[in-house]
Amino acid sequence: MIDRTLGDLHVFETPEEVAAGVADAFVADAERAVQDRGAFFVALAGGSTPKAAYALLAQTPRDQRVDWRHVHVYFGDERCVAPDSAESNYNMAREALLSRVPVPEENVHRMRGEDDPEQAARAYASQLVQAMGDTPVFDLIMLGMGTDAHTASLFPGSDPQTDEDRLVRAVYVEKLSAHRITLTPRVLNNARHVLVATEGLPKAPALYAVRCGPYDPVERPIQVLAPRSGTLSWYVDRKAAAELPSK
Ligand code: 6PG
């Protein structure tokens, strides 16, 4: 069955407003999770929009509203590079956010991009199971979207739902000639909240195709997002939304 979930679309005027919206959503989800369950499990994304949101989260007043002792940080995907590489999603998140807030070091779980990709994917899956059980439920998974409609490291050209018994997958991305590690749709769609943030005119054709074009997750992997019982939100700027019908 084709599960076509478009989710809630929030269109902001500027990229700065998108970043502020993402940071506010993080704070609200963290407050709710800590209040209801005593812990907040979040998966961070790489990319430019999340980076701006992380910088805002590290600043007062937002940093004061998060009970960082109870925040457990994971990653949606990682490039297969060393953790201090400028390419590393972990490195970016560390510089913009994690080194600036009192999140306990043992609560930060990075994907080991420097290891053999298959081995790193298996090790990360074990960590997820250990922390959250066989069916991990994140409170928030932050994602971006590429101009080719990839999300996390689910790239066009193969079915994103392959190996669905796996929680984490190693992939080789032909056009980047690079290995990546990524959460699978099984984990993404189990989250309480999946938040996709994207901005800028170059993303407009993909956003239109994803929301208004035919369902084809091999070509547009982000279409696979359809949280089973959680919420899917899209935070985009006016430019990314340029090709969407106004009503
Ligand atoms: C990564 C990401 C990736 C990203 C998109 C969009 O590791 O690169 O996790 O999926 O979110 O490529 O990136 P931008 O927001 O920078 O365009």
Q: What is the pLDDT of residues 23-81, one digit of tens each?
A: 999 999 999 999 999 999 999 999 888 999 999 999 999 999 999 999 999 999 999 99
The alpha carbon of 175 and the centre of ligand 1 are apart by a number of angstroms equal to 15
Q: Is the distance from CB of 233 to CB of 200 less than 8 angstroms?
A: no
Q: Is the torsion defined by CA of 21, 227, 216, 51 positive or negative? A: positive
pLDDT value for 246: 81
* Residue nearest atom 10 in ligand 1 by C-alpha distance: 152
Q: Which ligand 1 atom is the nearest neighbour of the CA of 79?
A: 7
Q: Which ligand 1 atom is the nearest neighbour of the CA of 197?
A: 15
* Residue nearest atom 12 in ligand 1 by C-alpha distance: 146
pLDDT value for 36: 98
Distance CA 71, CA 63 (A): 12
Distance CA 190, CA 135 (A): 8
Strands 231-237 and 178-183: unpaired
The alpha carbon of 47 and the centre of ligand 1 are apart by a number of angstroms equal to 4
Distinct helix (H) and strand (E) counts, the chain: 7, 9
The residue-averaged pLDDT of 94-104 equals 98
Average pLDDT, the chain: 95
Q: What percent of the chain has pLDDT above 90?
A: 92
Please enumerate in sequence order all residues whose Cβ is within 8 A of that of 58, keeping only pairs 6 or more positions apart, or say none.
Answer: 96, 97, 100, 101
pLDDT surpasses 60 at 3: no
Q: Which ligand 1 atom is the nearest neighbour of the CA of 144?
A: 11
pLDDT value for 1: 42
Q: Which ligand 1 atom is the nearest neighbour of the CA of 76?
A: 9
Domain ranges for the chain, please list them: 8-237
Q: Which ligand 1 atom is the nearest neighbour of the CA of 147?
A: 17
pLDDT value for 4: 66
- The pick from 18, 22, 44, 49 for probing ligand 1's pocket by mutation, whose C-beta has the most ligand atoms within 8 angstroms, reads 49
Considering only CA atoms, which of 127, 124, 140, 123 is closest in space to residue 194?
140
Provide CATH code, domain 8-237.
3.40.50.1360
pLDDT value for 2: 47
Strands 168-173 and 178-183: antiparallel
pLDDT value for 212: 95
For 148-178, the pLDDT digits (tens) are 999 999 999 999 998 778 999 999 999 999 9
Give the DSSP H or E segment for 117.
helix 117-132
Residues within 6 Å of ligand 1 by CB: 45-49, 76-77, 79, 89, 144-146, 150-152
* Residue nearest atom 14 in ligand 1 by C-alpha distance: 47
pLDDT value for 165: 84
* Residue nearest atom 15 in ligand 1 by C-alpha distance: 47
